[in-house]
Structure 1
Amino acid sequence: VAWIRADDQTILTLHTRLVTHSSRYAVTNDSPRSWQLHIRPLKVEDRGCYMCQINTSTMKKQIGCVDVLVPPNIVDEGTSGDLVSREGQDVSLSCRAEGRPLPRILWRREDGANIQLRNEAGELRKVDMFMGPSLNLSKVERRQMGAYLCIASNDVPPSVSKRIMLSVTFPPSTLVATKVIGVPTGSQARLECFVEAYPQAIHYWLKSGEEMILSGGKHEISEERVSPYQLRTILIVSQFDSEDVGTYTCVATNTMGKAEGTLRLYGFVVPLQPAEQKFYTPDVTTYDTMQNVIEQSVLDNNWLPTAESAANSHYPAFSLPTLALISVLPYLKYIIFSSFNAFVLISRDFQIVAQGAR
């Protein structure tokens, strides 16, 4: 029994003896009718067909083929590295991979955001992923900046990926939400300026277009990074007074250009509000009004008996009308006196009118 490589008719083993010089091949004969060829470790070049040949008066043979599966591998040659492009230019990201079967190439953004592609009409459309060896971005914009992942897979684990960073350069731009801000005297003023730039810009604040403001004393300058090309710079002015009134300018500059945003601060004095006072002046011109005043007075002074006070008291509880009558007794003489004076005045006027009529 002999094992022969079918492609080039190379004899590998003869009976139990190894003929080839490669130690990766071995033959076993577990039983008189069973012969096995072993290849360890298996390599890509071992892919092909092998023939088991029985040397009898009439030669017999049987052929078996081996396909070697290879996990994907991204090849540097033909694969893009990190790219820097000016905004508005066309960019192409390429990824080349080897493996058996031939790997599939999938593109994703590392931050999970959508990939923005332009259609034939030049309009941007968003996709979660893109399949293909080349990712073409026409008229690239700043929002397309970021890390892209080229992922190669062929159902033979493990899948592999490569990170490609795309940077988009553009001159600075500034955005000031409020152009004019009124600040109460003695309070704190907060000025914000939103900056977009790449490469990252140098930014600072100016007072009246000339005097550079430094952080310290009554001024505090800070920044909040929003994205690789976006930040918010904040100027805080403490104990605002008349000397702080004026124009403030946010300046951002990089190798691509320069931009400015202007705000104007003015101060005002907040008038002091007198403490609110409540005066209780009962109006007893009518019986209904008087009843309302009495009932409200009883409620305001918490004269309604509670269950606990009623249980502990040795005296009978008074009804609401009785309590109302008690509450109005201190005012009763004033009410009678006022009513009497009003009656005298009305009678006098009536007598004068009667005499005039005569």
Structure 2
Amino acid sequence: MSCAMLRHALALLLALLWKGPSSAQAAEFGHLPDNITVLEGESVVLRCKIDEEVTHKAWLNRSNILFTGTDKWSLDSRVSLVNNNNSDFSIKIEQVMVADEGPYTCSFQARNQPRTAHVYLIVQVPARIVNISQDTSVNEGDDVNLFCLAVGRPEPTITWKDFKYDLMNEGEFLEITEIKRHQAEEFECITNNGVAPPDTRRVKVTVNYPPVITEVKNMPAQLGKTAILRCEAMAVPTASFEWYRDDRMPVESDNTLKIKNEKTRSLLLFTNVTEKHFGNYTCFASNRLGASNASMLLFRKAGCDVTGRERGQLLNLYRMCTGPGAVYGGAVSLNGRLSGVGLWFCLSISVLMKV
């Protein structure tokens, strides 16, 4: 600092401390607001209004001199003088930081009469989540503890939202005791301090549990036809499936039977049912947490199974029952005879033809 600047600063400070007699001609200062609020990263202008020429003027931040007249004392490149005339002595702070918060003083001297005006700069910071639990996978019955940390000025609130049940919990921590499978979902952390829109982030909680078979159904089938046995199982992680026959032998795919495994179920597809397919089948579903099994029956469908030759013979009999002159007076004629027995016989043939 040069000697001239040092003498100038000392003279100014002594003048500000000196309480001389009041004068009606002294410069009048505009009243600065008690507080000025600005968002972090924005710019702010601190204005000091006067209506008379003064001999000395300065801006101070706490005990640090920023400007004396047009001389800049601050080494901060973000601080600049924007007006310096008989009516306005204003400074500008760009890219405001939290460290800029605090008291600022505009000081003048006119006719040996010091005047000061004070303003307090408040720096606000939007609420922001800075740390949060990672997505987690737990076993059913475990305790779950989630955290969400946020910063902001003023101090932000933190709320946890449960989407499935539309519940809200206040605070940085969310605790779930002995979690159940139906509680698996995404939990949202919301932080807000009214400065900007809330900041939100989500944590996904996966609950693992052993398989539970939910669909078991016996299935009727006909020889030569198709049939399906289904096994549904809910599990996390997804279950793997195996099929067994009555003798506990594993079921394997062949040209008449295929096993199709999907995400939550397994299918036994019989493309051409034969006598050997009828019987009891057991579905076995498992994951690393456990296993479950259920049995179901593939059984012969009620009715008569007929061969191609038998069907041809039945067709000839059917024509006798349904041909010209077969129906007379509400009775059925068989080989020219009318009888109730013939009616029963023809009805039986009709049933067999529809099998």
Amino acid at match of 2:233: V
Structure 1 position 269, deviation (Å): 5.6
| Inter-partner Cα distance in structure 1 for 2:156 and 2:268 | 53
| Inter-partner Cα distance in structure 2 for 1:141 and 1:234 | 29
Q: How does 1:13-162 map to 2 (within 5 A)?
A: 13-29=67-83, 31-56=85-110, 57-76=112-131, 79-108=132-161, 113-114=163-164, 126-162=165-201
Matched, 1:187 2:225: yes
| Inter-partner Cα distance in structure 1 for 2:77 and 2:84 | 20
Matched, 1:4 2:43: no
Structure 1 position 26, deviation (Å): 0.6
SS at match of 1:148: strand
Provide the residue aligned with 1:290 in structure 2: none
Question: Structure 1 stretches of 5 or more lacking a match?
Answer: 115-125, 226-230, 284-358
> Is the alpha carbon distance of 1:150 and 1:217 closer, same or farther for their aligned partners in structure 2, counting shifts above 3 Å?
farther
| Inter-partner Cα distance in structure 2 for 1:224 and 1:185 | 27
Structure 1 position 260, deviation (Å): 1.0
Matched, 1:206 2:244: yes
1:144-201 deviation line (CA, Å, top 9, x unaligned) = 12332223233333533333221222222222332x2222222222222221222333
Provide the residue aligned with 2:210 in structure 1: 171
| Inter-partner Cα distance in structure 2 for 1:261 and 1:280 | 53
Structure 1 position 213, deviation (Å): 3.0
Amino acid at match of 2:75: H
Structure 1 position 82, deviation (Å): 2.7
> Is the alpha carbon distance of 1:30 and 1:215 closer, same or farther for their aligned partners in structure 2, counting shifts above 3 Å?
farther
Provide the residue aligned with 1:217 in structure 2: 255
Amino acid at match of 1:241: T
SS at match of 1:197: strand
**TM-score using structure 2 length:** 0.64
Amino acid at match of 2:283: C
Structure 1 position 34, deviation (Å): 0.6
**Of the candidates 254, 264, 267, which is equivalent to residue 297 of structure 2?**
264
| Inter-partner Cα distance in structure 1 for 2:153 and 2:269 | 62
Is the 2:221–2:299 Cα contact (8 Å) retained in structure 1?
Answer: yes
1:79-107 deviation line (CA, Å, top 9, x unaligned) = 32233322123222221111123233233
Structure 1 position 30, deviation (Å): 5.6
Is the 1:175–1:261 Cα contact (8 Å) retained in structure 2?
Answer: no
**Of the candidates 228, 232, 235, which is equivalent to residue 268 of structure 2?**
235
Structure 1 position 245, deviation (Å): 0.8
Structure 1 position 263, deviation (Å): 0.9
> Is the alpha carbon distance of 1:52 and 1:223 closer, same or farther for their aligned partners in structure 2, counting shifts above 3 Å?
farther
> Is the alpha carbon distance of 1:250 and 1:187 closer, same or farther for their aligned partners in structure 2, counting shifts above 3 Å?
same
| Inter-partner Cα distance in structure 1 for 2:115 and 2:103 | 16
**Of the candidates 249, 252, 273, which is equivalent to residue 282 of structure 2?**
249
Amino acid at match of 1:59: P
Is the 1:183–1:189 Cα contact (8 Å) retained in structure 2?
Answer: yes
Q: Percent identity?
A: 27
Structure 1 position 267, deviation (Å): 1.4
Q: CA RMSD in A?
A: 2.8
Structure 1 position 232, deviation (Å): 2.5
| Inter-partner Cα distance in structure 2 for 1:282 and 1:48 | 115
